[in-house]
Amino acid sequence: ARQQKVAVLGAGGGIGQPLSLLLKLDPYVTSLSLYDIRGAPGVAADVSHIDTASEVTGYPADKLDEALEGVKVVVIPAGVPRKPGMTRDDLFNTNASIVRDLAAAIGRVSPEAHILVISNPVNSTVPIVSAVLEKAGVYDPRRVFGVTTLDVVRAARFLSQITGSNPQDTVVPVVGGHSGATIVPLLSQTEQGKSLTGEAYEKLIHRIQFGGDEVVKAKDGAGSATLSMAYAGARFTNALLRGLAGEKGIVTPTFVKSPLFADKGIDFFSSPIELGPNGVEKVHPLGPLSPSEEKLLAACLPDLKKNIEKGKAFVAQS
Ligand code: ADP
């Protein structure tokens, strides 16, 4: 089918609301199923008045199974933002449990669905979803994705601000993981970025890796990136839907089960992925790296390995 039923789990939140809005505008979405433990029916009623053809239904806390019925794509921004006094471990434990329980429901009700994970830490939550589905005997690695599109979006935007290029034509592959030093932008592979060196290069890399901190600081206690994240989530969802519809040549970085560094015990990695009717059709290799990028990759791998193992250990202990 060209058009698909899409669910958003966590649709009432800071990311979930604008994400639901943007998905209502996507012509590939026929039906939008909005679920949250609070607020989803209200968001659904509001978004449903927008004059596009898709049907919108909101589901309250006790209607998760109904929300997942017949769904082809599930996008998960559900979670808790970090509150004052909360440690990173507190955040991990809360979001890990939320994502684990949602994955179990998907495995039960809509085991054929493609799952797009936004809830952080993505480097750990994607292995969690995968392990839960594996336990349930319904895991297909071609259908589980960590959404890293915001890193690609930031890289294009920040590079374009330096070079004066149009960000829409500035395509930067960003590989590795989805937090801090695990984010590896490959500027050497872009027309606009390949000649950047020295301090300008270092600063841009840092800005792409830690761009989220700019938003946290500017929001001053009111949260983290939600609008740009919603845009990135909607863009990745659209790419997947076009791939599912049979469109050719859709290649974008996303964090998936990957053979690229499996020999180093790292079995999830983001690299440019070709999307098609089955989800992941092809994992592209990284291509040639500059010496600086080799260093970034060397810093990424041990951190990423720990993040992945933490996710797996969480499910093993659950
Ligand atoms: P963010 O800025 O990351 O979007 P929010 O706290 O604004 O953070 O949004 C997270 C949303 O996830 C909230 O609306 C919250 O109710 C929702 N949520 C939390 N736990 C669950 C769950 N188990 N299932 C669905 N939604 C959930």
Are 115 and 142 contacting, i.e. CB atoms less than 8 angstroms apart?
Answer: no
The number of beta carbons lying within 10 Å of the beta carbon of residue 38 is 10
Residue nearest to atom 3 of ligand 1 (CA): 81
Quickly list DSSP for the chain.
--SEEEEEETTTSTTHHHHHHHHHT-TTEEEEEEE-SSSHHHHHHHHTTSSSS-EEEEE-GGGHHHHHTT-SEEEE--S-PPPTT--HHHHHHHHHHHHHHHHHHHHHH-TT-EEEE-SS-HHHHHHHHHHHHHHTT---GGGEEE--HHHHHHHHHHHHHHH---GGG----EEE-SSGGGEEE-GGGSTTTTT--HHHHHHHHHHHHTHHHHHHHHHTTS-S--HHHHHHHHHHHHHHHHHHTT-S-EEEEEEEE-STTGGGT--EEEEEEEEETTEEEEE-------HHHHHHHHHHHHHHHHHHHHHHHHHHH-
> Is the per-residue pLDDT at 1 higher than 90?
no
Side chain identity, residue 95: N
Residues framing ligand 1 (Cβ under 6 A): 9-10, 12-16, 35-38, 77-81, 98, 102, 223-224, 226
Residue nearest to atom 20 of ligand 1 (CA): 79
Written as six digits, the tokens of 240 are 């997947």
Residue of 8, 62, 63, 98 to mutate, ligand 1, most atoms within 8 A of C-beta: 98
- The length of the chain is 318
In this prediction, residue 3 carries a pLDDT of 61
Average pLDDT of the chain is 96
> Is the per-residue pLDDT at 254 higher than 90?
yes
For residue range 166-198, list pLDDT tens digits in order: 999 999 999 999 999 999 999 999 999 999 999
Written as six digits, the tokens of 150 are 């915001």
Are 5 and 70 contacting, i.e. CB atoms less than 8 angstroms apart?
Answer: yes
Q: Put residue 243 in one of left, alpha, beta given phi > 0 → left and psi -120 to 50 → alpha.
A: alpha
> Is the per-residue pLDDT at 83 higher than 90?
no
Task: Tell me how far apart the alpha carbons of residues 278 and 94 are, in angstroms, rounded to a whole number.
Answer: 31
Atom of ligand 1 at shortest range from CA of 9: 25
For residue range 255-314, list pLDDT tens digits in order: 999 999 999 999 999 999 999 999 999 999 999 999 999 999 999 999 999 999 999 999
- What is the 279 CA–ligand 1 centroid distance (Å)? 26
**Dihedral sign for Cα atoms in the order 275, 180, 305, 262:** positive
For residue range 219-244, list pLDDT tens digits in order: 988 888 999 999 999 999 999 999 99
Using alpha carbons, list the distances in angstroms from residue 206 to 43, 181, 199, 201, 219: 36, 9, 10, 9, 20
What is the pLDDT confidence band of residue 90, given thresholds at 50, 70 and 90? Answer: confident
Written as six digits, the tokens of 89 are 């471990």
Contacts of 111 (CB under 8 A, 6+ apart): 133, 136, 138
- What is the 169 CA–ligand 1 centroid distance (Å)? 33
Report ipTM (2 d.p.).
0.99
Task: Tell me how far apart the alpha carbons of residues 204 and 168 are, in angstroms, rounded to a whole number.
Answer: 18
What is the pLDDT confidence band of residue 2, given thresholds at 50, 70 and 90? Answer: low
The residues assigned a catalytic role are 178
Task: Tell me how far apart the alpha carbons of residues 72 and 7 are, in angstroms, rounded to a whole number.
Answer: 8
In this prediction, residue 70 carries a pLDDT of 96
In this prediction, residue 135 carries a pLDDT of 98
Mean of pLDDT values over 31-40 = 98
Per the listing, tokens 């053809």 go with: 53
